[in-house]
Structure 1
């Protein structure tokens, strides 16, 4: 008797609090946002996709991504509606909470299920609908491995994750962790900064590089805080998330030009590291992000 193939369906994966079963690999997938789209591309799934959503409304595609999605249409500049997903005859939507879906919004796993669309949720975003562990590199690895199972490309997913883990181990082997650098993540906002809390990917990236997010006690993923907390906790390094209309240079100039921030060590010593949006959010470029942070933190 022949052994059953290793990639036999149905397969069941955990997506936030749900178990989702796939009877076959999706053939008409849509991803939302640049980092999620890159996860699909790195697994070689472009031919299983009918398009992507939620990129050009906020940011521009860099050269690497433009090439990756060359033949695919952007079906919606921001979050898609149910009509957009149904109109594309999608059978799969890779999105997250605040990455294409809003809690209580029009597009959720429950609202698109009657349209024959299965949803896999970005692990980092699960905090918006229930408790989860603090952000870690595993969040990204889990998503890649689950996508591998969903699309029947497990071997590719496992190979990628093993490669990233090995690279990360090499990069971080010499990092001195005895006195973690105090680090603040500046995403956007002048009146009040939008930043990364305990459940956002940069917290894991910063820790891998030998730092500590000064707001790692903020029980949120991405959130707005007051500047007072930033000044009080006095970061030694500021990580700028680069995307959108306000450039990284403008964000740095704002911080350096504001007298309220003059006492912050990072500002005094001109210590800023810039991460692109696709490096700071869960996705294939997280290892490169750690490499950039190590160089910026320790001058390696």
Structure 2
């Protein structure tokens, strides 16, 4: 068994029983802006092309049914979720931020210095009183709850106060405006939008190019000869189970590594399923979410000690891959999650 007690970790238990030796634990730090050597030339070419980009103001952005006009880059941004915070920080926009909130995991160590320079307004969502005290001109959230009545308030109301906002499109208040499924193209578009809004489109293009290059390297390493592995994406639950379904980030990560989501026929980003369904569908590997509210170690203990689950192939082979909850939201962590899930599924190919 190999393990690392880190904010971002991969654990593969008993892979020798799956036809290969257990690989070393994944790096605790997803290398967000560092493409693998095999992908460097592609990323460098795209970076060179991106350097000539400039935002032309006024800039119009259509976001989840609202149209925003920017006459200049925002100067006082507030981010309401970890994914939005990390997008801003990796784009080098800490100096344009007057507040952050609601972290699911520790900030990436590569972003810690920048993160520590920005006030944390609340452990979860700040009240409107606290938010308005920061005099924001831009509020950015990854979840619709960021713009709930107990948080920033509806985006229409913020617009009436002269505060622009951006909501990740997978969380649009009107579900008809959401994409059919979350994809890497979705986060690429979001990164480019944020970069354009803040007048740094070159940084957005360069980041997207490096992310794309890293994914191409994963695809090439896996190759065309790998048999798709049946995966159960296990978020939480003991009686019933909260599982990755057809249309969210977990399904996209599974798709990117050429595997098969056993609950791809379940609607929505997440679905509540029964253990009977899990046993019947017999996953060959289980991706287990690490979260304070539902620790991965407790779920592994449940899987390996309850005889009801003893016939599941993934349990028999102790083939478990652990990722943090923050990797299940569209953002800059998704590429590292794809890389590490691929290593967990095909260790021999990534030696």
TM-score, length-scaled by structure 2: 0.77
> 2:129 is paired with a residue of what secondary structure?
helix
Is 1:238 the equivalent of 2:286?
yes
Identify which of 295, 308, 315 aligns with 1:260.
308
1:118 equivalenced with 2:197 (yes/no): no
Q: Does 1:172 align with 2:204?
A: no
Q: Could you tell me how far 1:252 is from its partner in structure 2?
A: 1.4
C-alpha spacing 1:145/1:50, structure 2 compared with 1 (3 Å)? same
Task: Classify the secondary structure of the residue corresponding to 1:165.
Answer: helix
Question: Using the alignment, how far apart are the partners of 1:47 and 1:223 within structure 2?
Answer: 39
* Contact kept? 2:83, 2:142, Cα under 8 Å: no
Distance in 2 (CA, whole Å) between partners of 1:96 and 1:87 is 22
Partner of 2:50: none
Unpaired runs of 5+ residues, structure 2, are 1-52
Aligned pairs, how many?
Answer: 294
Structure 1 residue 59, shift from structure 2 partner:
4.2
Change (3 A) 1:196 1:181: same
1:177, distance to aligned residue in structure 2 (A): 6.6
Alpha-carbon spacing, 1:218–1:295, altered in 2? closer, same or farther (3 Å): same
Higher relative contact order (CA 8 A, sep 6+): 2
Paired residues of 2:254 and 2:260 also in contact (CA < 8 A): yes
- C-alpha displacement of 1:41: 0.5
Deviation at 1:190, TM superposition (A): 2.0
Contact 2:228 2:258 in 1 (8 A): yes
- The CA deviation at 1:8 is 1.9
Distance 1:233 1:111, change over 3 A: farther
Out of 165, 171, 181, which is 2:229 matched to? 181
User: For 1:147, which of 175, 181, 194 is the aligned residue?
Assistant: 194
Match of 1:281 in 2: 329
Which one is further off, 144-153 or 279-288?
279-288
Q: 1:183-205 deviations in whole A, cap 9, x for unaligned?
A: 11111222322222222111111
Task: Work out which of the residue numbers 178, 195, 217 in structure 1 matches 2:265.
Answer: 217
**Are residues 265 and 101 of structure 1, via their aligned partners in 2, closer, same or farther at CA, if it must alter by over 3 Å?**
farther
**Deviation (angstroms), 1:102:** 4.5
Shift of 1:68: 3.2
CA distance in 1, matches of 2:124, 2:239: 24
For 2:126, which of 56, 69, 80 is the aligned residue?
80
Supply the distance in 1 between the matched residues of 2:173 and 2:258 (Cα, whole angstroms).
24
Deviation per CA, 1:29-73, whole angstroms, max 9, x where unpaired? 111222221111110010000011112xx5444544433311212
Native 8 Å contact 2:131 2:152 kept in 1 = no
The structure-2 alpha-carbon separation of the partners of 1:30 and 1:160, relative to structure 1 and needing over 3 Å to count, comes to: same
**C-alpha distance in structure 1 between counterparts of 2:254 and 2:114, whole Å:** 28
Q: 2: CA distance between counterparts of 1:232 and 1:98?
A: 34
Per the alignment, residue 91 of structure 2 pairs with: 43
Cα distance change, pair 89–281 in 1 and its aligned pair in 2 (3 A):
same
Which is worse superposed, 96-105 or 142-151? 96-105
What is residue 201 of structure 1 aligned with on the other side? Answer: 249
**Which of 122, 126, 141 lines up with 1:95 in the alignment?**
141
Distance 1:172 1:78 in 2: 37
Task: For 1:258 and 1:62, locate their aligned partners in 2 and report how far apart those are by CA, in whole Å.
Answer: 35
The range that moved more, 233-242 or 37-46, is 233-242
Candidates 137, 151, 160, aligned match of 2:207: 160
Alpha-carbon distance in 2 for matches of 1:48, 1:116: 17
Which stretch has the larger CA shift, 162-171 or 239-248?
Answer: 239-248
SS in 2 for 1:225: strand
Q: Is the 8 A contact 1:33 1:99 kept in 2?
A: no
User: Quick one: distance in 2 between partners of 1:199 and 1:255?
Assistant: 25
Q: Distance in 1 between matches of 2:280 and 2:320?
A: 18
Q: Calculate the aligned-residue CA RMSD, in Å.
A: 2.4
Corresponding position: 1:227 with 2:275: yes
